[in-house]
Structure 1
Amino acid sequence: MTSDSPVTRVLANRYSPGGAPSLDNFKVVSAPAPTKDSLKENQVLVRSLYLSVDPYQRGRLTGATNNYIPCYELNKPITTDGVAIVEASTSADISEGDIVSSRIASWETKSVVDVATLRKLPTGTIENARDFVTVFGMPSFTAFVGLTTVGKPKAGETILVSSASGAVGQIVVQLAKACGLRVVGVAGSEDKVEFVKSIGADAAFNYKTCGVFTEAIKQAAPEGIDIYFDNVGGEFLDAALTNINFGARIISCGMISQYNVKSADETYGLKNTFNILTKAAIFQGVRVSRYYGTPTEDEFMAEVGKLYKEGKLQYRIDETTGLENAPQAVLNLYDGKNFGKSVVKV
């Protein structure tokens, strides 16, 4: 891309309070490219390399004002985690050629960005830039935080992981095995089930073909569940609650089965919450943003980095090429067409 080439942007086009989102929620446009002459003090011109695609984006397209994360602004670029290369800089801390990451990366091929919103990756190169939105990205950190701070795993326990082939689940499976747990994974196709087994799950099943959830869980974990890492919510969460052991820990990470309900009347109402009381269980949500910049993040980078460097951690990536194709990558999350961590190679 030359400096005169227009940039591509993906904007939020409309909100969908209920039901499944569609391509109409997005607008792909071209615009004049920013130049280094437009930079103010402590700004950089970046070219996007990789952008993260994540299920939580559904909530940002609802238009709701009471969400835990603000909705996207209409006619403004979509934002997620991303990595980019610096093409020009007015900062003393970040230079041309540096690889940087941002938790609010704009879905633009090129952007002018304040350096305060960026993190320079000291070991970052174009060759490993993708790692910082995949194996070292937000979903992996979420897996680590949920398992260690809420799950508090003990060797010999049994963990149940839903969406076990996804961005979060595949890390949970492997970290749990490293902790000496018996791991039961759940996924939505036979090839995904086989992948979950290949990364260490002791048992795995396809929730679309397993029959009654409660019985399928009991068959895979006859001694009960000590930890449940929940990425789906709804009916499967209810079934997991019937199979928990005394002192179980339920980690609420996502509820993707409920994201596209058309109205509150369609929301699945849990029936087995009494088990939380009778089994003295802990049911806690995970907000990973609370742990950025804390010792927990350092522990994550050290532990996951060591496993990854030693070849003891696999990470499946579902890569889409071209920013113009990013909206479809988002939609693929909600009907199971993705396999692994979804990213866009810009």
Structure 2
Amino acid sequence: MADLYQQIVLASRPTGAPVAENFRLESGQMPVPADGEVLVRARYLSLDPYMRGRMSTSKSYARPVEIGEPMEGETVAEVVESRHPDYRPGNLVQARSGWRTHAAISVEGLRRIDPALAPITTVLGVLGMPGFTAYSGMKVIGQPKPGETVVVAAASGPVGSLVGQLARLAGARVVGIAGGAEKCAYVRDVLAFDAVVDHRSEGLAEKLAKACPNGIDVYFENVGGPIWQAVLPLLNRFARVPVCGVIAHYNGAGGGERDQLPITMLEIVRRSLLVRGFINVEFVEEHYDAFLREIGPRVRSGDISYREDIVDGLEKAPEAFIGMLAGRNFGKALVRLS
């Protein structure tokens, strides 16, 4: 088995929520790096909501994964063989090597990892793409001010948890929306949000209104669906809405919800709302270095909290991914590869 590697490929495109049959575990001969490439062994695989979009052929900002191709994903990986002068065996890197135990890849896009700076898993979470999504969305679009009210859904997750902590550091009042008593307690007691609302309980709209007596100045949107319906009436004039995702709709709009587009468009005009969708890579060149300088020391000192949800074994990735889309993870979803 030493000369074999494993990968999980897209076996079929899901209709609605992904199921186990949409994935297939394969084994093959160990890839051989070409000149200028490195062979890496993945140690941790990141599971993220955007991957659901890659399973579909719908028009998007990136091409879909083809049937039979390995699922796309970012990893913490170790170089085991190098045919590039800048890398040698043992180097730890952040790579887009996908749902694979090993991959022969170009060094373009690799980012070195210094394990002395922070736990290596943080480059896939609070100090990686999710963290930068929170940072750039708030810095460029949300721009919270002292005394304002900031609301974020999925508040216990890797993006929402940092959004709220950044808002708190800016002097804003922070209200989180999370699912279940355990996650709500974490948001309130560990992340120190000013208030938290359980979206699984009855009366979401009424409870959110009570938690936001002065309305909402910034709503960081990463869920959509009924949560957006509860938020929209509370948005103040000139409120800002960074939109990084709408996970409630990734498996198809459905659900019998009434069409929110007409009233949303009316309120955008009536209250001069700023609603901007964004992909974090838009801001990398201008803001990524500042993100690491500002957030890295706070993570190392413990001023910023984060949580990870880790499962073991590549074969567990589909089940963990399906669970993440359903909100069953608690913290940044990762797969540890042996």
TM range (shorter): over 0.9
Contact 1:145 1:286 in 2 (8 A): no
- The one of 191, 207, 224 equivalent to 2:199 is 207
* 1:79 Cα offset (Å): 1.4
* 1:238 Cα offset (Å): 2.4
- The one of 42, 59, 71 equivalent to 1:78 is 71
* 1:266 Cα offset (Å): 6.4
Contact 1:8 1:108 in 2 (8 A): yes
Contact 1:6 1:32 in 2 (8 A): yes
The answer to whether 1:99 aligns with 2:87 is no
Contact 2:36 2:83 in 1 (8 A): yes
Give the equivalent residue in structure 1 for 2:281: 289
* 1:128 Cα offset (Å): 2.6
**Matched residue type, 2:66:** E
- The one of 325, 329, 332 equivalent to 1:334 is 325
Change in 2 beyond 3 A, CA 1:126/1:21? farther
The answer to whether 1:244 aligns with 2:241 is no
The answer to whether 1:177 aligns with 2:168 is yes
* Comparing 110-119 and 145-154, the one that deviates more: 110-119
State the alpha-carbon separation in 2 of the partners of residues 125 and 26 from structure 1. Answer: 36
Q: TM-score, normalization: structure 1?
A: 0.92
List per-residue Cα deviations over 1:102-144 (Å, max 9, x = no partner).
2x222111111111131222x2469832111122111111000
State the alpha-carbon separation in 1 of the partners of residues 227 and 262 from structure 2. Answer: 11
State the alpha-carbon separation in 2 of the partners of residues 262 and 24 from structure 1. Answer: 22
* 1:162 Cα offset (Å): 0.6
- The one of 12, 15, 34 equivalent to 1:40 is 34
State the alpha-carbon separation in 1 of the partners of residues 137 and 118 from structure 2. Answer: 29
SS of the residue 2:89 aligns to: coil
Aligned pairs for 1:160-239 within 5 A: 160-198=151-189, 199-211=191-203, 213-239=204-230
Q: TM-score, normalization: structure 2?
A: 0.94
* 1:279 Cα offset (Å): 1.4
Aligned residues between the structures: 335
List per-residue Cα deviations over 1:249-272 (Å, max 9, x = no partner).
011111111112376986853453
Change in 2 beyond 3 A, CA 1:242/1:127? closer
State the alpha-carbon separation in 1 of the partners of residues 196 and 12 from structure 2. Answer: 39
* 1:278 Cα offset (Å): 1.5
Give the equivalent residue in structure 1 for 2:6: 8
**Matched residue type, 2:60:** N
For structure 2, the 5+ residue unaligned runs are none
Give the equivalent residue in structure 2 for 1:325: 316
Give the equivalent residue in structure 2 for 1:275: 267
* 1:5 Cα offset (Å): 4.1
Change in 2 beyond 3 A, CA 1:119/1:299? same
Change in 2 beyond 3 A, CA 1:218/1:265? closer
**Matched residue type, 1:284:** R
State the alpha-carbon separation in 2 of the partners of residues 161 and 178 from structure 1. Answer: 15
SS of the residue 2:168 aligns to: helix
Contact 2:117 2:300 in 1 (8 A): no
Give the equivalent residue in structure 2 for 1:133: 124
State the alpha-carbon separation in 1 of the partners of residues 260 and 55 from structure 2. Answer: 23
State the alpha-carbon separation in 1 of the partners of residues 217 and 301 from structure 2. Answer: 29
State the alpha-carbon separation in 2 of the partners of residues 192 and 325 from structure 1. Answer: 23
State the alpha-carbon separation in 2 of the partners of residues 41 and 316 from structure 1. Answer: 39
Change in 2 beyond 3 A, CA 1:266/1:245? closer
SS of the residue 1:173 aligns to: helix
Change in 2 beyond 3 A, CA 1:6/1:332? same
Give the equivalent residue in structure 2 for 1:298: 289
State the alpha-carbon separation in 2 of the partners of residues 42 and 126 from structure 1. Answer: 28
Contact 2:148 2:172 in 1 (8 A): yes
